[in-house]
Amino acid sequence: MIESFSSSVSALVMISNWFFPVYIAWWVSEILVDSLVTL
């Protein structure tokens, strides 16, 4: 039980480590597009 929990946590950490910079890049690009549209 503990081992499966730790493996799922490590998989979740790997997914979040991959997803976080992708989310940041998407968020920054949204801000840039909005600022370009308002110009």
pTM of the shown model: 0.52
> Tokens 């997803």 belong to which residue?
19
CA distance 35 to 29: 10
pLDDT attached to residue 39: 76
pLDDT attached to residue 25: 96
Task: Give 1-35 pLDDT, tens digit per residue.
Answer: 678 889 999 999 999 999 999 999 999 999 999 99
pLDDT attached to residue 1: 63
CA distance 27 to 17: 16
